Amino acid sequence: MSLVLEQLGMTVRGEEVIRDVSLRLERGTMTILLGPTLSGKTSLMRLMAGLDQPGSGRILMDGHDVTGVPVRRRSVAMVYQQFVNYPSHTVYENIASPLRVAGLKKAEIDARVQQAARLLRLESLLTRTPTQLSGGQQQRTALARALVKGADLVLLDEPLANLDYKLREELREELPRLFAQSGAILVYATTEPAEALLLGGFTATLSEGRVTQFGPTAEVFRHPGTLAAARVFSDPPLNELPVEKRGPTVTLANGRTLPAVGALANLPDGAYRIAVRAEDVTIGEGQAGAFVFSGQVAVSEISGSESFVHIGTDLTTFVCVEPGVHEREPGAAIAFSIDPQRLFVFDASGTRAAAPTMAEPA
């Protein structure tokens, strides 16, 4: 069982929201659509569901063309970012709704609703209406309704984005496990690279309506094939520098030359864009062979047990993730280093020319 998208395209009011998307999603797998707001995640999901019709291309389910088939005749479940339930029904009726429409026997409906309610810890809330629930409980109700249906295709559109931190962590752990047993094709949209890494599975990075890369999540993270994919999969944003390679050296925009070592070695001469993730920028001189830069602290933010340091230089503003909580005065002089082994190098067209050569640290 598989869902195949063939060269899908969609234009809304003269704007191309989906461009030439081709994907193959297998049963029992989870695919994460990763991309910033307006990158086309929701549009793509609506096409998969059949809520919108593509302007071009085909959608195949198990080899059958389902492009024009209306949603109500497909086996799809969807959960929105906003908590969408039927406000006038009780939690029980909300969960039972797809089964009632399918015309199942009362006893079977009850068994399945009770089971879903148990999995999502809603047993004590079944007689309430959604307005009497907290946000997390409302979203769990929506998830239970999606789960109970046993659909072939389950679409989760940023389901945890509106929940508070604690609930989010809990549900994030449970979600893949809940749907794994159903054997459905699970699609999960998110804007957060960290969430994609925690969930695992496969990831398709989206940028301006295009799928820039598709593969196992860790693989896409370690080896982004394009600059666009690398940008989407980096939070805080990727540090990028245009460079000119000639022979054994590369020249930066400010005229400084660096030895063409690490990822930069063995590349033909020409213009490149080198990029490094904030985690790979180290405060201080670093180890021997690292490229050392200096600048002033622009902003320093503390995020959990890490500190994000924004450092202004004559090239660009670098972002660096520093473990631990550090308070740094804006304007203070600071040195930082980048290991040339950890650079991504992209050519003029944005395609990867070289990737970090070192294995990922555990």
Binding site for other proteins (CB under 8 A): 49, 51, 70-72, 76-78, 80, 82, 84-89, 97-98, 101-102, 145, 149
Q: What Å distances lie between residue 214 and 77, 81, 131, 190, 202, CA to CA?
A: 23, 23, 39, 15, 7
Report the residue number, 160 or 320, with the smaller CB distance to other proteins.
Answer: 160
- Minimum Å distance from CB 211 to other proteins? 24
* Minimum gap (Å) between residue 243 Cβ and other proteins: 47
Residue placing its CB nearer to other proteins in the complex, 87 or 330: 87
Output the smallest distance, CB 230 to other proteins, in A: 33
Instruction: Name the minimum Å distance from CB 191 to other proteins.
Output: 19
- In this complex, which beta carbon is closest to other proteins, that of residue 18 or of residue 78? 78
CB of 117 to other proteins, least distance (A): 17
Query: Which of 15, 327 has the CB closer to other proteins?
Result: 15
The CA R_g of the chain, rounded to the nearest whole Å, is 24
* CB 92, min distance to other proteins, A: 15
Residue 77 CB, nearest approach to other proteins (Å)? 7
> Which is closer to other proteins, CB of 98 or CB of 224?
98
Mention every residue, 6+ apart, whose C-beta is less than 8 A from residue 147: 77, 116, 119, 120, 154, 178, 179, 182
Question: Is the CB of 46 or the CB of 310 nearer to other proteins?
Answer: 46
Contacts of 185 (CB under 8 A, 6+ apart): 1, 2, 3, 25, 26, 27, 28, 29, 31, 152, 153, 154
Whichever of 66 and 263 has its CB closer to other proteins, that residue is 66
Tell which residue, 199, 182, 195, 173, has the closest CA to residue 28. Answer: 182
